[in-house]
A and B are shown apart, each in its own frame.
Chain A
């Protein structure tokens, strides 16, 4: 809450700025959705047709009528779910160890590498990874992709989960330990249930990263393990002027995220102040 009540004039300015920004934020989304239900002629019309066109579901029907596209969609869901689970399991265990063992040899090095790896452009890993995957005969394999996604998102998971676990009072665990519970059961029965909201927020975030990932699949997958973002990107080389289908595929990628963002906005504010602003 602001300490000072803004004057009437500045309120008008605020509304004007917020409204312009809101239009700028919404319009591209609206335009994509509306293009996705236009036929070819309407999608090219100049002047553009905003509402006075005959909506059609043909673009979506064609996409779902294509077995390949359905497979890509299924691939995307599999990779997203499996890699998120993997990062969460390994990430929360690592985070627990980091949060509860204040001092150990190489802690600083580990911390440093977590940050640096997070800051490193993806392409740095992709050239050697491509070579590795090719040599091992693991090219275009969806389970290898899950592993790679999980690895790439692990630093983020560890980073955020450590700050969540840090906030859980140690007393809670001590009493469980006194009652004879082992470290593992403390982790799974005491710590993780308390950290569940944090875990869920982290999971959703990591899942979004996986859903959006483009560079990894474009490098180490072909047709078998292709995912939605790579399919969408394919429009720029092969089907430049198929705006309707292009918009439909894009809409399928962004609609779930848009809904999630609106539903989660409170948690996003909380999660960000946790993850990014605190050590």
Chain B
């Protein structure tokens, strides 16, 4: 843990000073000025909004989709193993490469997705040129990797359930959907909570994909807190201001621990 403590301490130290990269070691102690200037800035608030937006849209899209796929795979139809292998494939691929792949598929003039949309009569979309569609593109690329992961998690959860309560409900005359809604889903609740928590963590951490697909743009439309911090620290070279944003980001992740304790608590029951 000491290995983490050192950079964190340096980060806190830097955040109270006025250093930037062109004057390394220069600068002086300026107290909370970086905090009041950065954290209350319009950029920070906008980035916070974008972070939450991408996270929430992502969850709303990804979790139901993953659940449906996991349930269908659990039916053990013919070919399930093939489908499972294929569907898991995107999960662990290098995010930078994945981002780049999608970036050239989403290219406005030459990308295959717009070609497909034009051919099918939907018309081309300026994917990375328009704020709303850029957010959609980021969620799309993130989902391509997140849905397989969530599906795997839910599959593991479903595999751990005993089929007996479901069978009993079916005997009592519940139809397939009712069994799922009132028996399976409640039993799956702990796993769903874990899934939500892991997505929360990944949502805060999401960086590579956005960095590659949109670079935070157009303008700052997809600039999340991590990207803002990177830009301030490494593009504007404002080391101390970047460090202050970093400290705030670190503080924002603290509640995750308490959520985690509650989730584990629910599961232990």
Bound Cα distance A14, B76 (Å): 11
Q: How large is the interface on B (under 10, 10 to 19, 20 to 34, 35 or more residues)?
A: 35 or more
CB distance from B240 to the nearest CB of A (A): 9
Is A117's CB under 8 angstroms from B4's CB?
yes
Q: Which of A14, A116, A235, A251 contacts B77 (CB 8 A)?
A: A14
Q: How many residues of chain A have a CB within 8 Å of chain B? A: 87
CB distance from B254 to the nearest CB of A (A): 6
Bound Cα distance A5, B88 (Å): 25
Q: Is the C-beta of A253 less than 8 angstroms from some C-beta in chain B?
A: yes
Is B144's CB under 8 angstroms from A128's CB?
no
Residue of B nearest to A32 (CB): B101
Interface 9-residue window, one of B7-15, B55-63, B131-139: B7-15
Q: Which of A1, A22, A125, A228 contacts B83 (CB 8 A)?
A: A22
Is A254's CB under 8 angstroms from B250's CB?
no
Q: Is the C-beta of A198 less than 8 angstroms from some C-beta in chain B?
A: no
Bound Cα distance A125, B82 (Å): 41
Q: Is the C-beta of A101 less than 8 angstroms from some C-beta in chain B?
A: no
Main secondary structure, interface of A, reads helix
Q: Is the C-beta of A68 less than 8 angstroms from some C-beta in chain B?
A: no
Q: Which residues does chain B contribute within 8 Å of A125, judged by CB atoms?
A: 4, 7-8, 11, 246
Bound Cα distance A249, B99 (Å): 13
Is B87's CB under 8 angstroms from A250's CB?
no
Q: Which residues does chain A contribute within 8 Å of B32, judged by CB atoms?
A: none
Q: Which of B13, B167, B207, B256 contacts A119 (CB 8 A)?
A: B256
Given contacts A123-B246, A132-B6, A277-B191, 17 further A-B contacts (CB under 8 A): A3-B179, A4-B170, A46-B110, A113-B4, A115-B256, A117-B1, A122-B207, A124-B11, A127-B14, A131-B10, A219-B234, A250-B94, A253-B93, A261-B92, A262-B89, A265-B84, A277-B153
Please report B residues at the A interface, Cβ cutoff 8 Å.
Answer: 1, 3-4, 6-11, 13-14, 19, 24-25, 68-69, 72-77, 83-98, 100-105, 110, 112, 115, 119, 144, 148, 152-153, 155-157, 159-160, 163-164, 166-167, 170, 176, 179, 190-191, 194, 198, 201, 204-205, 207-208, 211-212, 215, 225-226, 229-230, 233-234, 239, 242-243, 246-247, 249-250, 253-254, 256-257, 260, 264, 267-268
